[in-house]
Amino acid sequence: MSTRLSDAKQALTSKRAFLSFVETKESRLGHLEHRNPWTNSDLDISPPEDWTWTWRNYAAFWWSYGFSTGVWTVGSSLIAVGLKSWQGKWDLILRSARVYRGESTDLMIAIIVVFISHLLGAIGMAMHSRSAAVYHFGFPVASRVPWGMVGGMFPVFVRTLVGTVWIGIQLMQGGYFTAVLLNCIIGKSFMNMHDPIPESSDITIQQLIGLLIFFFGSMPLLSIPVTKVKIIFTIKSVVLPPVVIGLFIFCMVKGRGHEAGTFGSKGLTGSALAWAMLSGINSTMGKTASNIVNQPDLARYARTRSAPLWSQLLALPIGNTLCATLGIFGTSAIKQAWDLEKAIWNPWDLSNAILAHYWGPGARAGIAFVSMGFLFSIMASNLGVNVIPWGADISTYLPRFLNIRRGMFLSYIFGLVICPWKILTSATSFLRFLGGYSIFLGPFVGIFLTDYLVVRRGNIWVGELYSANPRGRYWYTCGVNWRACVAYTVAVVLPIPGFATLFGHDLSPAWLKIYQIGWILTCVVSSVVYFLCSFVGDFVEEERAMKFEEVANREYVEGFDDEEAVSAVVVRSEK
């Protein structure tokens, strides 16, 4: 501590001393003669000592991610929204959430819809993990390959915007559960305290107190090294399932003997059923869309190339499908047991409602246990899928002054100032958010996968990704690959009119159908357009003629266990 204070005082002595104090570490190799403006120690490829994530760590990460407030909320919110005109895409799942005896067929279809959506997400994650598991770079550097040195900042920018909202949502959810926990500990005097905040603000004084406590209380986790956080997800994978399953059992016991309502739905057959399934799959993928895009930020720490493959393919769809199903049935059961006009779509309001209905030592102890479990879940999930990637991504804009750790602290600030409670005011706004942003992320996945796996056959010259030479391999035209721009634009334009219909614009129903399959459509279209554009000019001709990942096998595999082999790549990049 005394050393840090001494350094801080020294930094105030001159401009040069101040810049030296706030600058990030230039490279993992230490001080360089000439600083490279395209990298710092976190943007460099990860050295062998950081390749610590095994298949077990990735499996624990995504299994535990499934048992979270977000996944429960995705499932239960389908019950709450009913069937308004723009929400016909949820018709199948809403019907399937009924607990009538004999409705097992509808139940199976609902489970299949949820499972397929997360399976597609898992496939995208596993495939997009490949490049980072082989070359050990993060998402900002991976973006330079198909988009160019300058153009690569665009996908990072879009992902950062989405990540900011998700960080804010998770912070707010943590605040909600902190308020629930305080209610259990302090008693009704906390929930009944005077609230000076106007109702139109969509947040209460109790929730604001909970948000601030969670905000500052979880901040020390941001200091944990990225390579060490995997232990948190291992613990979470064991602790959270009993918490979520316990809440589900309570809801089902209270709802026993009560038939579920129809929620305003009608039977679907033929093409209507098919469209409901497709749009349900597409919309549910909104929960994992951002994680697919920035997958390299975690895959870069893989011990082996195959570590992120089967672990993610299995753990992600199974864990998410199970928790979403519990949310659907738990919400449905409580709605009928209490004869509610409107379903309680999120677990924090459900916890408060349980306290209100069954106030006493047992209920307070039980909900306190549930709240602490969900609080731990929120902190871990937010750290792994939002805060760490956000910190890694933002460093690409100012690598001289921003690294992952500083970016993580900035993400917390930005997540708070966007007022995330506005998104969580209703199930409608939450689902609109999920369905909306995914259409802007789908094209990135199609471009990334097509470029790496098909067009350039997994061959990347890592040193060139840090080259400041405008004639470098990945500078393309003024630092931008026009092929990626064309593919993205063509893909994302298609669902935008349908997206506009959600805000009251009267357009043809055909546009809405296009929007309802937005993520899948944009991913496929961008992939096809990018592939066709890759034949224009002499684009990646050298890579096409090579074997799959020949560059990696030739230059790196022999030295994967050798620190000097990785250092050599970084040294070349600095020249």
The pLDDT, as a whole number, for residue 267 is 53
Alpha helix stretches (DSSP H) within 338-403? 347-357, 361-381, 388-394
The pLDDT, as a whole number, for residue 430 is 56
Given a contact cutoff of 8 angstroms between Cβ atoms, the answer to whether 146 and 481 are in contact is: yes
Give residue-wise pLDDT tens across range 383-398. Answer: 988 899 899 889 888 8
The pLDDT, as a whole number, for residue 274 is 73
Nearest to 469 by CA among 538, 18, 461: 461
The pLDDT, as a whole number, for residue 560 is 39
The pLDDT, as a whole number, for residue 481 is 96
pLDDT confidence band for 302 (50 / 70 / 90): very high
pLDDT confidence band for 517 (50 / 70 / 90): confident
The pLDDT, as a whole number, for residue 344 is 78
d(CA 522, CA 288) in angstroms, rounded, equals: 15
d(CA 156, CA 441) in angstroms, rounded, equals: 11
Task: Give me the phi and psi of 419, to 5 degrees please.
Answer: 55, 65
CB neighbourhood size of 572 (10 A): 14
Given a contact cutoff of 8 angstroms between Cβ atoms, the answer to whether 284 and 76 are in contact is: no
Q: Which amino acid, residue 103?
A: E
More confident residue, 412 or 421: 412
The pLDDT, as a whole number, for residue 102 is 38
The pLDDT, as a whole number, for residue 155 is 94
Does 419 score more than 80 pLDDT? Answer: yes
pLDDT confidence band for 563 (50 / 70 / 90): very low
pLDDT confidence band for 150 (50 / 70 / 90): very high
d(CA 362, CA 372) in angstroms, rounded, equals: 16
Give residue-wise pLDDT tens across range 46-103. Answer: 888 889 999 999 998 888 888 877 777 765 554 444 333 233 333 333 333 344 343 4
The pLDDT, as a whole number, for residue 448 is 96
The pLDDT, as a whole number, for residue 33 is 62
Does 460 score more than 70 pLDDT? Answer: yes
CA atoms within 13 A on the CB side of 433: 24
Does 531 score more than 90 pLDDT? Answer: yes
Least confident of 22-26, 121-125, 344-348, 368-372: 22-26
Cα distances from 505 to residues 13, 501, 512, in angstroms, run 59, 5, 11
The pLDDT, as a whole number, for residue 182 is 94
The pLDDT, as a whole number, for residue 130 is 94
The pLDDT, as a whole number, for residue 552 is 87
Contacts of 138 (CB under 8 A, 6+ apart): 42, 43, 132, 296, 297, 300, 392, 393
Cα dihedral 57, 59, 62, 65 sign: negative
For range 290-314, the mean pLDDT = 90
pLDDT averaged over every residue in the chain: 80
**DSSP letter string over 521-557?**
HHHHHHHHHHHHHTTSTTTTHHHHTSPTTHHHHHHTG
Task: Give me the phi and psi of 260, to 5 degrees please.
Answer: -80, 150
The pLDDT, as a whole number, for residue 570 is 43
Give residue-wise pLDDT tens across range 28-45. Answer: 666 666 677 888 888 889
d(CA 285, CA 290) in angstroms, rounded, equals: 9
Give residue-wise pLDDT tens across range 423-456. Answer: 776 555 555 665 577 888 999 999 999 999 999 9
Residue 528: is it exposed, middle or buried by C-beta count within 10 angstroms (0-12/13-18/19+)?
middle
Cα distances from 390 to residues 139, 153, 373, 509, in angstroms, run 10, 13, 25, 37
Least confident of 62-76, 346-360, 397-411, 551-565: 551-565
For range 188-194, the mean pLDDT = 87
Task: Give me the phi and psi of 302, to 5 degrees please.
Answer: -65, 135
Give residue-wise pLDDT tens across range 207-233. Answer: 999 999 999 999 998 988 887 888 888
Task: Give me the phi and psi of 342, to 5 degrees please.
Answer: -130, 130
d(CA 515, CA 233) in angstroms, rounded, equals: 35
Cα dihedral 41, 377, 64, 166 sign: negative
Nearest to 283 by CA among 82, 450, 89: 89
Given a contact cutoff of 8 angstroms between Cβ atoms, the answer to whether 442 and 491 are in contact is: yes
